[in-house]
Every structure is written in C-alpha cells, then in structure tokens.
C-alpha cells in the first residue's frame, strides 16, 4: 500500500476493558491513518445495560460497524479482540483488506492452565475483582505495564475490569474446539507479539499462521510483556 494513502485502522480491545485502551496510541499514528477504537457491547463501563453477545454476534456487530468506513480497512485485534476478528473473518472477510493480530488468544487453549481455571464457577468473577482492587493494584501494575503511565488512565484501566459485564462469559464461550473449527482465511495478516510476553508465548503464532495463506511476523524485540486478554 502507498504510505501516503489514507488507511483506516479499527482496533478491537481485549477482555476486561474497552476502546479507551487505545486512546493514548492515536497520536502515534501518521496523519494518513484514520484510527477507530470502538467499545464492544458488554464491555462499556458507562453502559452496563448493554447486551452481552455471543462470539458470532460480536463478529456480526463488528461487520456492521466497519461496513461504511473508508477503504482500505485494516482490523487490529488485541488479546480477545483478535478472537472476535478471527470469527469475523469466517463470514465477513471481504469487508477488510488486512488484519494485525497482537498477542491474541485461542490457539493453544487446550494446553494452557489459566483459561481452564477461569471456567470454574466463580473464578473469573473473583479474578476480575482482584485485578480491579486498589489493594492489589501495585502487583498488577508491575505485570501489565513496563513503564509508569498516566495515573488517570491507570485508574480507568483497572477499574474497568470490575465493571466489565462480559468478562466471565468470554471464558465460557471460547475453547480449543472453537479454534479448531476455523477455516483458512485469504486475508493478509501481520502478527505482533511481545518477545517477553508473560501469558501468551510467541510460539502461539505457529498455530495461527496455519489459518492465513499470507502472513508475516513483525519484529517483536522492542515489545515487552502482554497486558491482558
């Protein structure tokens, strides 16, 4: 693509938060990038009455959202946001011109202990409230952020976990059988992964690449740890 051509990037957030997670990144993009960062239903802390959807329904919601956005359209998914994009591509691949997948979940759920624990009754609810708790914030701050960040953003980030209506249901909906049912996708993909990711190892890319006929792995040596699903 011509570097001067206008490009639309729609960033899809992970679990426990909303589109606000990308607010500080907007200024980092060149002027020819039109950047969108919607908050999905069930993740909006300002609208707790929003309906929680199934994975398939989130894919359809995303299709409706980007349908009238100027092309070329790029979808960027982080953590759980990448799951929604993979599901979206099963039915709506023609609506996008490429995807960027950043430390997304799904590929090795049959081998990871954390997702299995989160499926147990009450565990995900307790986990999200521990993350949101100011008492445990110093611990999670060190895990989620390598460098000091704006205190207001930090508060919003952690508070959002406790208020996220869809948090628990995501662990119940996503499993390895879902990933194995994905069909190959003819859409260009770039994988962006933290070299020191503490939850999802870069080797996850090997499984994800099998879904895409055209993909590349971006240099990840400058990235540290993964923030969250």
Contact 182, 38 (CB under 8 A): no
Name the residue ranges covered by the structural domains of the chain.
7-217
Preceding peptide of 72 cis, ω within 30° = yes
* pLDDT (tens digit per residue) in 85-112: 999 999 999 999 999 998 887 777 777 7
Q: In this structure, what are the phi and psi dihedrals at residue 183, rounded to the nearest 5 degrees?
A: -95, 155
Return the DSSP state at 23: G
Whole-number percent of the chain with pLDDT over 70: 85
| Dist CA 33 CA 28 (whole Å) | 10
Contact 102, 76 (CB under 8 A): yes
The pairing of strands 33-36 and 7-12 is parallel
* pLDDT (tens digit per residue) in 13-22: 999 889 999 9
| Dist CA 25 CA 48 (whole Å) | 25
What mean pLDDT value characterizes the chain?
Answer: 83
Whole-number percent of the chain with pLDDT over 90: 32
How high is the pLDDT of residue 2?
54
CATH of 7-217, one of 3.20.20.240, 3.40.50.620, 3.40.50.1820, 3.50.30.30: 3.40.50.1820
Residue 47 has pLDDT above 90, yes or no: no
With H, G, I as helix, E, B as strand and everything else as coil, classify residue 28. helix
∠ Cα 146 149 155 (to 5°) = 115
Q: What is the pTM of this model?
A: 0.85
DSSP 3-state helix, strand, coil percentages of the chain (rounded to 5)? 40, 15, 45
Buried b (16+ CB within 10 A) or exposed e, 33-70: eebbbbbbbbbbbeeeeeebbebeebbebbeeebeeee
Radius of gyration of the chain (CA): 17
Q: How crowded is residue 32: how many other Cβ atoms within 10 Å of its Cβ?
A: 12
| Dist CA 143 CA 228 (whole Å) | 9
Q: Which of 67-71, 77-81, 113-117, 194-198 has the lowest mean pLDDT?
A: 194-198
């Amino acid at each position: 693509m011509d570097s001067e051509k206008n490009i639309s990037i729609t960033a899809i957030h992970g679990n426990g938060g909303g589109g606000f997670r990308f607010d500080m990144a907007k200024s980092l993009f060149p002027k020819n990038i039109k950047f969108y960062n919607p908050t999905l239903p069930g993740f909006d802390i300002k609208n707790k009455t929003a309906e929680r959807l199934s994975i398939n329904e989130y894919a359809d919601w995303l299709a409706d959202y980007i349908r009238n956005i100027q092309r070329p359209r790029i979808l960027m998914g982080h953590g759980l946001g990448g799951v929604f994009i993979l599901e979206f591509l099963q039915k709506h691949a023609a609506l996008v011109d490429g995807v960027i997948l950043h430390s997304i979940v799904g590929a090795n759920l049959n081998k990871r202990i954390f997702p299995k624990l989160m499926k147990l009754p009450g565990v995900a609810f307790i986990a999200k409230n521990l993350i949101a708790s100011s008492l445990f914030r110093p611990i999670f701050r060190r895990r989620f952020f390598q460098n000091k960040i704006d205190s207001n953003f930090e508060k919003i980030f952690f508070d959002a976990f406790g208020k996220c209506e869809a948090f628990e249901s995501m662990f119940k909906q996503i499993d390895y059988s879902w990933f194995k049912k994905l069909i190959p996708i003819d859409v260009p993909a770039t994988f962006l992964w933290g070299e020191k990711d503490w939850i999802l190892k870069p080797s996850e890319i090997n499984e994800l690449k099998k879904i895409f006929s055209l993909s590349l792995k971006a240099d990840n040596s400058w990235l540290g740890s993964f923030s969250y699903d």
